[in-house]
């Protein structure tokens, strides 16, 4: 059975050409303690030099020319190859194709790209020439999440590169490329490690919990908790636990159907659930958050279930109303 708490994230890298950023990602992944591994290198050009490099390093590859194919069909084939390789993330490294909205949507917040400018400045092509022509003091590179809008996703990291007197686009590009090879592995490693960062996990839980009707946050025994109802008479439906009482887990404590369900789930899926100290005897289950295979839709489901169990009858119907609107 895999160790779900320490498993490395599997990454598919999409390329179109030489793959220097792919190589930087690959070699960084082989350093001790890397939180990711390259599970696949896929290209839209079967002659892309990046494929030969990947094969020489023992990395599985996939190639399919896009010429003559509908964009949706080519995207579907690339996505299928990534899924077949077990990829949890897709990283674009010089992949010169605009992906379809459906593909991007299915990999929301799990697809990264690197762009040769200090976004939001200069999305698209010819970034170095545009920065020089504008008289900018700095060019640079940005790693961002991929969204439907070109080069407009959340920026995860940047490095600024000084533009020197007399610089040409080619000279600036060469220096930016060196920075890219430093930035991309670092940002990817940090991003795929967020599953073990309590502050990141709490922020995600907070967003989901406070999206439910008439909820608010209140500290309980020194830890964040979430209540439904008024500030005066509200009831807790969730608690955030960061390795409390000696537990090794960062977990979300929510109400379950009772001890039978708790014990069944803990026995069947000990990597996903645990019986929390003190709370377990009262019908609370611990949903383990710091694991690489966490499904946030499942977390949202548990929060809704717990909310429904403790919400006063006068507002319990608000959840159904919100769903219908």
Closest CA to 242 of 280, 288, 208, 179: 288
Q: Which string of DSSP letters, residue by residue, matches 135-182?
A: T-SEEEEEEEE--SSTT-SPEEEEEEEEPPTT--HHHHHHHHHHHHHH
Q: Which residues contact 201 (CB under 8 A, 6 or more apart)?
A: 194, 195, 240, 250, 289, 290
Question: What is the bridge-based pairing of β-strands 61-63 and 138-145?
Answer: unpaired
Angstrom distance (rounded) from CA 275 to CA 278: 9
CA distances (Å), 317 to each of 228, 285, 301, 307, 320, in order?
Answer: 13, 24, 17, 11, 5
**113 in a known ligand binding site:** yes
- CA atoms within 13 Å, Cβ hemisphere of 232: 0
Query: Is 96 annotated as a binding-site member?
Result: yes
**Distant-in-sequence, close-in-space partners of 259: CB < 8 Å, separation ≥ 6:** 281, 283
Please indicate if the annotation marks 105 as binding a ligand.
no
Annotated ligand binding at 194? The verdict is no
Give yes or no: 249 in active site.
Answer: no
44 labelled binding-site residue? no
55 is in an annotated binding site: no
How far apart, in Å, are the Cα atoms of 237 and each of 254, 303, 304?
Answer: 6, 7, 9
Q: In what order do the strands lie in the sheet with 273-274?
A: 215-220, 223-228, 235-242, 250-255, 284-288, 273-274
Taking residue 108's Cβ as centre, other Cβ atoms within 10 Å add up to: 12
Catalytic residue among 4, 66, 74, 115: 115
Residues β-bridged to residue 250:
242
Residue 98, annotated ligand binder? yes
Please report, in range form, the residues annotated as the binding site: 19-21, 71, 96-99, 113
Q: Give the catalytic positions in this structure.
A: 115
Please report, in range form, the residues annotated as the binding site for (6R)-10-formyltetrahydrofolate: 71, 96-99, 113
């Amino acid at each position: 059975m895999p160790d779900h708490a320490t498993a490395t994230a599997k990454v598919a890298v999409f390329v179109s050409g030489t793959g220097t950023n792919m190589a930087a990602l690959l070699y960084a992944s082989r350093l001790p303690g890397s939180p990711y591994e390259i599970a696949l290198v896929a290209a839209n050009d079967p002659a892309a030099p990046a494929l030969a490099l990947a094969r020489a390093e023992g990395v599985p590859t996939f190639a399919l020319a896009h010429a003559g194919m509908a964009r949706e069909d080519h995207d579907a084939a690339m996505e299928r190859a990534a899924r077949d390789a077990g990829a949890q993330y897709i990283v674009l490294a010089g992949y010169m194709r605009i992906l379809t909205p459906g593909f991007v949507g299915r990999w929301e917040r799990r697809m990264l790209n690197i762009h040769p400018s200090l976004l939001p400045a200069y999305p698209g092509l010819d970034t170095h020439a545009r920065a020089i022509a504008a008289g900018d003091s700095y060019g640079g590179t940005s790693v961002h999440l991929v969204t439907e809008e070109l080069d407009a996703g959340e920026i995860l990291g940047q490095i600024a590169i000084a533009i020197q007197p007399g610089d040409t686009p080619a000279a600036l590009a060469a220096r930016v490329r060196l920075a890219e090879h430093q930035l991309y592995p670092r940002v990817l490693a940090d991003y795929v490690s967020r599953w073990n960062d309590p502050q990141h996990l709490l922020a995600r839980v907070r967003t989901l919990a406070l999206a439910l009707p008439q909820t608010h946050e209140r500290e309980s025994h020194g830890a964040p908790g979430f209540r439904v109802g008024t500030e005066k008479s509200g009831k807790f439906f969730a608690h955030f636990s960061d390795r409390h009482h000696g537990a090794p887990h960062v977990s979300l404590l929510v109400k379950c159907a009772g001890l039978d369900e708790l014990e069944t789930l803990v026995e069947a899926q000990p990597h996903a659930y645990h019986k929390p100290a003190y709370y377990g005897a009262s019908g609370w289950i611990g949903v383990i958050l710091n694991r690489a295979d966490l499904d946030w839709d499942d977390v949202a489901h548990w929060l809704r279930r717990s909310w429904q169990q403790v919400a006063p009858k006068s507002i319990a119907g608000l959840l159904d109303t919100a769903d219908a609107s």
